[in-house]
Amino acid sequence: MASTKANRHAAGDLPWMSEAYEANLRQQPHERRRRGAFMTPLHLAHTLMRPAVDAWCVAHRGRVPVTCDPSCGTGNLLVAAAERLMQRGHRPVAIAKCLRGVEIDPAAIEIARMRLAAVLGGGRTVERLVRKGLRCGDATRVQPSWLVSDVMVANPPFRGQLKRGTVVDRLTAQRWRKRFGEEVRGYADPAAVFLLLISQALKPKGRACVILPRSMLASASTEPIRESVSRIARLEAVWMDDRFAFDAGTRVCAVTLVHKSGGVDSHVRPLRVLGEVEAVLPWANWKGRWSAAAAASAGVPALNVPHAGVVGDMARATADFRDQYYGLKGALCDDRHAGRGLNALRPRTAAIDRRASRMDRLPVHTTGLIGWNRSHWGERPARLLGRKFQHPAARVPALLSRPPMRAWLGDMLHPKILLATQTPVIEAVVDARGEMAGSVPVIRLLPTDAKDVWLLAAALLAPATSAIAWWRHAGAGLSPRAIKLSAKQVADLPLPPCRAAWIRAAAFLKQASEARTQSQSALCLQRFMDAAHAAYQVPSARRGALSRWWQPLAWGTFAG
C-alpha cells in the first residue's frame, strides 16, 4: 500500500528498515505487482490494531493473545500489535512467545524479526522467540494447526486476476482448491484465499482484522468465500477511508471478524462502519451483506420495501465477454446513419436473413454512451478495440459468418434494454425497436414479452432500485461512488408491488425519452420519480432522503 511513515515516537522500533525495503520495491513496479507486495502504512496499522487487540484483551483479562499475521511483510501489523500489548502492561517475553508471522520474501521476514526484537527490548530470549515465531514461506502451505491464533491480522497480497502479470498460476489455483474447497474459483483474488485461511485459523471467540480490496465486499467471484467465512465468523465492523493513499492503486477496506465459537450466533447484530463515515447499521438494514458498509459510507439511504418478484421473472439478462468483444473486429465503422430504416430492411423474426441484412449497420453502445434513460450515441466519442469513433456501428453482414456473433445479433435485433456498468445509479436506455447493440461490459435485458420493455425499464430506473442495488452490491466498482452489477445481480433486482403506480411510472418514463425541451424533461422526471416511489411503496418519511440522493445523480445524464 502507501509508503510507510516513520513513527519516530515508537521506542525501539526500526521503521527506516521497512521504508528502505519499500523504496527498493518501488524501483521494481512489475515485480511488486506480480507479488502483490504493498505494505501497510504504520499509522494505519496502529489505527486498525488497537480495537482488534483491545477487544480481545478486555474479554480475556490478564492473558496475552496468540497473534498471527500470515502475510506479515516487514512486520508493520505485528509491530503495532506488540506495541499495543506493551502499552497494556504485558511483559516483552510473554508477547514474543505469542507472536507468529509468515512471509514469502526472506528479506522482508528478516526485517520483521529485527524490528520486533527491537520493539520488545532485544535480548537473546526475545530474539530466539521472535525468530521461532516468524517463518519464511507461503502461509497457504503452512500446517493449519500452527496458524491457529486468538487474534489474526493481515494485509494479504493484492493481485488482480484479469491481468497476465498478476494472475495465479494453474498449479497454485489447484492446490488452493484442494485445501480450501470449491469456494476458491474463477477470478478470486489471493486476498480472498487469505481471508478464508484466516477465518479457519481463528480460535473460539478469536478476532481477526484483515485489510482487503474493497471489491471483496461485493464482487460476484468472491461471494462463495464471503459465505464460507460468514459460516465461521461474524462480521462485526468494516473500516473504510479514502483519505489514505495506497501505492497499490486499489481502494481498500478492513474487516473485523469474530469467531462464532460453535454456538448459535445472534442473527440480529448491528454492523459498525468506521473511518471517514461512522455509522451503526441495524440488522434490518444490512442483513448480513458486507456491501452494506460501502453503501452506508457512500451516503445511500437504506430502504426496506416490499417487492413482487424479480427482474429475471420478466426478462433474460446477459453480458458479453471476450468472444463478443473481439468478434466486432473488422466489422466496426463510423456511420452517422446507422440503424435508420433497419426494421424496413429485415423481417421481424428471430432468424437473420442475409439479403435483408445486407445494408444493416447497428449503432454500438459502450457504457459511456448510456445515460439515465438516454443514449448519447453520436453526442460523445467512444473507444472500441483501440479506435476512436464518433458514430460507432457494426456491419451486420460482416458478422453473419462468425458463429459467436450470430446469437449476439439475434439478441441485438430485438426490443431490449441496454444497461451500463460502473455508474453512480442504475443507468439504462430502452431500445424498443431492436436497432441498437451493446459492447462489453454493457448488460442487455430481453423482456419475455416485448410489450413490457417500458415497464421493465421503469423498475430498473426507479430510485428505490438503485438504492437496493447499492446496499446489496456496493464495493465492486472501481470508484467508491459507483456500483458495478453483473447480469445475474441485475436479474435478481426486485419488481415493484403496486402495479397501477408502476404502469404510470412506465408511461412517464417513455414521455421523458420523447421530451423535446429541458422543461419537459424536468417535469417527466419529477412525475416518474413520484410514481416510482409509489410503485415500490417507499414510506413517505423516506422519500425525501431517497430523492435528494438519487435525483442529482440521475439528472446529470438525463438532462445531458
pLDDT range class, residue 30, cuts 50, 70, 90: low
Q: Is 81 exposed, middle or buried (0-12, 13-18, 19+ CB in 10 A)?
A: buried
DSSP code string of 413-478: TSSEEEE-SSBSS--EEEETTS--EE-TT-EEEEESSGGGHHHHHHHHTSHHHHHHHHHHHTT-SS
The pLDDT score that the predictor gives to residue 62 is: 79
For the residues 260-267, what does the mean pLDDT come to? 60
Q: Is 253 helix (H, G, I), strand (E, B) or coil?
A: strand
- How many of the other CB atoms lie within 10 Å of CB of 29? 10
Q: Over pLDDT 70: what percentage of the chain?
A: 85
Q: pLDDT by residue (tens digit) across 390-443? A: 999 988 888 887 887 888 888 888 899 999 988 999 999 999 988 899 998 999
Confidence of residue 7 (pLDDT cuts 50, 70, 90): very low
For residue 131, being part of any structural domain is answered with yes
Do 355 and 444 belong together in one domain?
yes
Q: What are the pLDDT digits (tens) for 137-187?
A: 999 899 999 999 999 999 888 655 434 444 566 777 777 778 887 777 655
Q: Last residue of some domain: 186, 219, 235?
A: 235
Between helix 540-558 and helix 463-473 the angle, nearest 10°, is 90
Q: What beta strand segments (E) does 167-282 contain? A: 202-213, 233-240, 252-259, 271-275, 279-281
**206 and 330 housed in the same domain:** no
Domain-embedded: residue 546: no
Q: Which domain-ending residue is among 446, 474, 495? A: 495
Classify residue 333: in a domain, yes or no: yes
What CATH number is attached to the domain comprising 129? 3.40.50.150
pTM of the model: 0.81
Domain's final residue, options 470, 495, 520 = 495
116 membership: H or E segment, kind and range = helix 106-119
For residue 502, is it within any domain? no
| Cα–Cα dist 543/301, whole Å | 10
The full 3-state SS of 473-533, as one line of letters, equals: HCCCCCCCCCECCCHHHHHCCECCCCHHHHHHHHHHHHHHHHCCCHHHHHHHHHHHHHHHH
Q: Are residues 319 and 231 in the same domain?
A: no
What is the phi-psi region of residue 522: left when phi exceeds 0, alpha when psi lies from -120 to 50, beta otherwise? alpha
Are residue 326 and residue 201 in the same domain, yes or no? no
- Domain residues for 388? 311-495
For the ranges 188-197, 295-304, 502-511, 530-539, which has the lowest average pLDDT? 188-197
- Parallel/antiparallel/unpaired status of strands 99-103 and 67-69: parallel
* Residue 255, all three cell numbers: 474487516
338 and 228 in a common domain: no
Residue 302 lies in a domain: no
126 and 27 within one domain: yes
87 lies in the same domain as 231:
yes
Contact between 546 and 303 (Cβ < 8 Å): yes
**Count of domains forming the chain:** 2
The pLDDT of 120-128, averaged and rounded, is 89
Give the relative orientation of helices 518-535 and 453-460 as an angle to the nearest 10 degrees. Answer: 80
Closest CA to 478 of 219, 292, 187: 219
Q: Does a structural domain hold residue 426?
A: yes
- Name the more confident of 553 and 51: 553
Report CA-CA distances (Å) from 213 to 2, 191, 477, 486, 504.
Answer: 14, 8, 11, 18, 42
What is the residue whose three cell numbers read 432468424?
Answer: 351
Q: What per-residue confidence (pLDDT) applies to 510? A: 93
The answer to whether 216 touches 195, Cβ cutoff 8 Å, is: yes
At 133, the amino acid letter reads G
Domain at 319, CATH number: 3.90.220.10
Beta bridge partners of 274: 239
By three-state DSSP, how is residue 345 classified?
helix
> Residue 433 domain-assigned?
yes
Angle at 134 between CA 207 and CA 124, to 5 degrees: 120
Per-residue confidence (pLDDT) for residue 184, from 0 to 100: 73
C-alpha–C-alpha distance, residues 550 and 97, integer Å = 54
Q: Please check whether residues 231 and 340 belong to one and the same domain.
A: no
**Which residue carries 492446490 as its cell?**
175
Q: Where are the beta strands (DSSP E) in 263-340?
A: 271-275, 279-281, 315-319, 332-334
pLDDT in tens, 45-102: 888 888 889 999 988 887 999 999 999 989 999 999 999 999 999 999 999 999 999 9
Does 355 lie in the same domain as 223? no
207-218: pLDDT as tens digits: 999 998 888 888
Query: Per residue in 32-48, pLDDT tens?
Result: 555 556 667 788 888 88
Whether residue 222 is found in the same domain as residue 348: no
464 inside domain? yes
| Eight-class DSSP state of 41 | P
- The mean pLDDT value of the chain amounts to 84
Does residue 198 sit in the same domain as residue 319? no
pLDDT value, residue 34: 58
Report d(CA 341, CA 346) in Å as an integer: 9
- Terminal Cα distance for the chain, rounded: 38
CA distance 523 to 519: 6
